[in-house]
Amino acid sequence: MVKKGAFGDSWYFNHILSGKPLVFAEEPAGYVPGTVYDDGKIYGGYYTKDQIREMIAYAAERQIEIIPEIEIPGHNMALLHVHPEFFCTGEHKVNNVICPGQEEVFPFFEKVLKEVMDLFPTPYMHIGGDEAEKSNWAVCPLCQKRIADEQLKDVYELQSYCIRRVEKMVNACGKKLIGWDEILEGGLSDNATVMSWQGTEGGVEAIRMNHDVIMSPSTFYYLDFGQDAPYKEPIAFNAYLPLEVVYSYEPEEDIIAACGKDYDPSIMKHLQGLQGNLWTECIIRSDHFEYMLYPRSFAIAENAWSPKGSKNYPVFREKALAFIKRIQEEGYHTFDLASEVGHRPEADVPIPNLALGAKTTWRKGDKVETADMLVDGYLGDWTIRRDPKWKEFNGKEITLDIDLGECKDLHYIGVEYVDFRIRRFRLPDDAQFLVSEDGVNFVPVYTPKLRLSDDRSHYCILTFGGTVNVRARYVRLQFNKGPKKLRGYLSEVIIN
Ligand code: ACM
Ligand code: ZN
């Protein structure tokens, strides 16, 4: 299995950027287990069981327990490469989800889980459960038969069926199951532990349902996100999660707020702990890994051991600066907290311009809404995700109309974008600005070509606009109508 599934034609992340599928490769001659193999043609690697035993012992000497994770039923591209018979029958749109309609997959996972549980002394087994996209199951006759035979409602209950079967295997070995939030879909057995990653609400709900929970919210604890102004940071999987935000997470406050007047302090026993996640799709070098880890992991540690209400960011920051210095002297590569830029300075002050407070109409196909954040004068901060300052666009045939209230002389029209290929942003090659005096008859005034960043793997803010010389009341931004669905974010329209 490892000989076939652990190597591919390049770093996985290159495939995210290029959109080309990963081509698996056989183990190259001379590969030394425990190392990363990368000769420019083949990339990959694995650990032997003896190396894992050595790692477990090394960690145990430092009071660290390693919990293994075997992903079920999604994130199984390597498994499906080696066992293509575990794919759903019929058309499969998704290439990493196994078919729970097939009986054979269960003894297979039982064997794998048993082997892994025998290796790791921890009482826990993490079985993943996250991001299993269900479109293959919806059309697979075997999955549909399983749904009918087991009297399940839908594919979500099929996921739950799958997790319950796996949980029996885990429990039969005397271990406790851990899984990501998605194991809550379609019902969950009482003694499973939820590792909550999709924001904070799912984990809080699970605690209220008396499940043990480890909080690992992507909104606070995903250390593969950038930690400072994106223009100066190495490649990151999402924008801006600075030290102060990581430090600010207060899980107990969320739980107390969600319980309201029903709050009973004994519920806190279900908050089992906190976890930072540093996924390595975009990280292949250890210096990059250390950079993302330090100092943000210090903040997670201090959060985990600090009683509620006892934290103090300025004090913590001083300690973090001292600790960074110390570990740098030991040879670690860390983020340079002392020269942190912090949040986007341009987002602090409003930009006076003619569009301020104008009436907006955002149309996507038949859907009509407003987009007032695009005319409030404020540019977006580095954070784009879940930030109401940015307007997401997703689809085709998108237009934005701005009504200035009366005819005015216009000399400049521009709009700000983010280009971020890692997030699979797909920007229009060009857009068009049109203007109108009556809101009915629009004439094109400017068709700028979008300047994409040279290295499209990086987060990059772009301005899309230029000079015009026209008198008008209405300004329309219209994306080109290419065959592809567009995806990205706008922050602000500036008209002068
Ligand atoms: C996750 O980030 N899919 C757990
Ligand atoms: Zn199936």
Span 221-249, average pLDDT: 95
pLDDT surpasses 80 at 6: yes
Strand partners, 419: 460
* Residue 394 alpha carbon to ligand 2 centre in Å: 30
* Residue 178 alpha carbon to ligand 1 centre in Å: 13
State which of 127, 182, 197 you would mutate to test the pocket of ligand 1, scoring each by most atoms of that ligand within 8 A of its C-beta.
197
Q: What is the pLDDT of residue 371?
A: 97
Of the bound ligands, which one is closest to the alpha carbon of residue 98?
2
* Residue 155 alpha carbon to ligand 2 centre in Å: 10
CA distances, 437 to each of 95, 406, 467, 494 (Å): 51, 8, 18, 18
3-state DSSP: the chain helix, strand, coil percent, rounded to 5? 35, 25, 40
- Write out the two tokens for 428: 């229009």
- Binned at pLDDT 50, 70 and 90, residue 481 comes out as low
Span 462-488, average pLDDT: 88
- Write out the two tokens for 182: 């998605």
The pLDDT tens digits for 322-376 are: 999 999 999 999 999 999 999 999 999 999 999 999 999 999 888 999 999 999 9
Kindly report the backbone phi and psi dihedral angles of residue 478, in degrees, each rounded to the nearest multiple of 5, phi listed first.
-130, 125
Give helix then strand counts, H and E, for the chain.
15, 18
Of the bound ligands, which one is closest to the alpha carbon of residue 101?
2
The pLDDT tens digits for 421-468 are: 888 888 887 789 999 999 999 999 988 777 777 677 788 898 888 999
pTM given for the model:
0.92
- Binned at pLDDT 50, 70 and 90, residue 2 comes out as low
Closest among 451, 446, 450 to 467, alpha carbons compared:
446
Beta carbons of 484 and 402 less than 8 angstroms apart = no
Q: Give domain limits for the chain.
A: 1-46, 345-495
* Residue 135 alpha carbon to ligand 2 centre in Å: 10
Span 91-102, average pLDDT: 91
**β-strands 359-364, 193-196 pairing:** unpaired
Closest among 27, 12, 143 to 82, alpha carbons compared:
27
Closest among 381, 460, 386 to 425, alpha carbons compared:
460
Highest-pLDDT range among 94-98, 229-233, 337-341, 457-461? 337-341
Sequence-separated (6 or more) residues with CB below 8 Å from residue 274:
214, 215, 216, 221, 249, 251, 300, 303, 304
Sequence-separated (6 or more) residues with CB below 8 Å from residue 101:
88, 137, 140, 141, 142, 143, 144, 145, 146
The single-letter DSSP state of residue 106 is: H
Pocket of ligand 1 (CB under 6 A): 130-131, 180, 197
Of the bound ligands, which one is closest to the alpha carbon of residue 138?
2
Of the bound ligands, which one is closest to the alpha carbon of residue 198?
1
The pLDDT tens digits for 131-148 are: 999 999 999 999 999 999
pLDDT surpasses 80 at 170: yes
Beta carbons of 81 and 100 less than 8 angstroms apart = no
The single-letter DSSP state of residue 190 is: T
- Binned at pLDDT 50, 70 and 90, residue 1 comes out as low
Q: What is the pLDDT of residue 449?
A: 76
195 Cα nearest atom in ligand 1: 4
Out of 87-101, 324-338, 471-485, least confident range: 471-485
State which of 72, 76, 131, 216 you would mutate to test the pocket of ligand 1, scoring each by most atoms of that ligand within 8 A of its C-beta.
131
The fraction of the chain above a pLDDT of 90, given in percent, is: 78
State which of 72, 198, 279 you would mutate to test the pocket of ligand 1, scoring each by most atoms of that ligand within 8 A of its C-beta.
279
Closest among 463, 346, 475, 358 to 411, alpha carbons compared:
475
- The CATH code belonging to domain 345-495 is 2.60.120.260
Q: How far apart are CA 387 and CA 401, in angstroms?
A: 22
The pLDDT tens digits for 237-264 are: 988 999 999 999 999 999 999 999 999 9
- Write out the two tokens for 261: 């007047």
* Residue 332 alpha carbon to ligand 2 centre in Å: 46
Sheet of 24-25: strand order equals 24-25, 7-8, 43-44, 37-38
Kindly report the backbone phi and psi dihedral angles of residue 452, in degrees, each rounded to the nearest multiple of 5, phi listed first.
-90, 150
The pLDDT tens digits for 171-219 are: 999 999 999 999 988 777 778 999 999 989 989 999 999 999 999 999 9
User: Which regions of 144-210 does DSSP assign to beta strands (E)?
Assistant: 176-180, 193-196
Q: Give nearest CA residue, ligand 1 atom 3.
A: 130
Span 258-272, average pLDDT: 94
Closest among 223, 226, 217, 220 to 245, alpha carbons compared:
220
Beta carbons of 316 and 366 less than 8 angstroms apart = no
Q: What is the pLDDT of residue 306?
A: 93
- Write out the two tokens for 237: 């999987």
Question: Crossing angle, helix 251-259 and helix 201-208, to 10 degrees?
Answer: 60
Amino acid letter, residue 298: F
Closest among 253, 248, 252 to 314, alpha carbons compared:
248
CA distances, 57 to each of 50, 51, 125, 407 (Å): 11, 10, 18, 75
Of the bound ligands, which one is closest to the alpha carbon of residue 214?
1
* Residue 301 alpha carbon to ligand 1 centre in Å: 20
Average pLDDT, the chain: 93
- CB count, 10 Å around CB of 12? 15
Strand partners, 466: 413
222 Cα nearest atom in ligand 1: 2
* Residue 167 alpha carbon to ligand 2 centre in Å: 20
279 Cα nearest atom in ligand 1: 2
- CA 18 to chain CA centroid, Å, is 19
Q: How far apart are CA 234 and CA 278, in angstroms?
A: 14
Q: How far apart are CA 351 and CA 332, in angstroms?
A: 42
- Binned at pLDDT 50, 70 and 90, residue 21 comes out as confident
The fraction of the chain above a pLDDT of 70, given in percent, is: 98
Q: Give nearest CA residue, ligand 1 atom 2.
A: 197
Question: Crossing angle, helix 105-119 and helix 49-61, to 10 degrees?
Answer: 50
The pLDDT tens digits for 36-85 are: 999 989 999 999 999 999 999 999 999 999 999 999 999 999 999 999 99
Span 103-107, average pLDDT: 98
216 Cα nearest atom in ligand 1: 4
Q: How far apart are CA 163 and CA 161, in angstroms?
A: 6
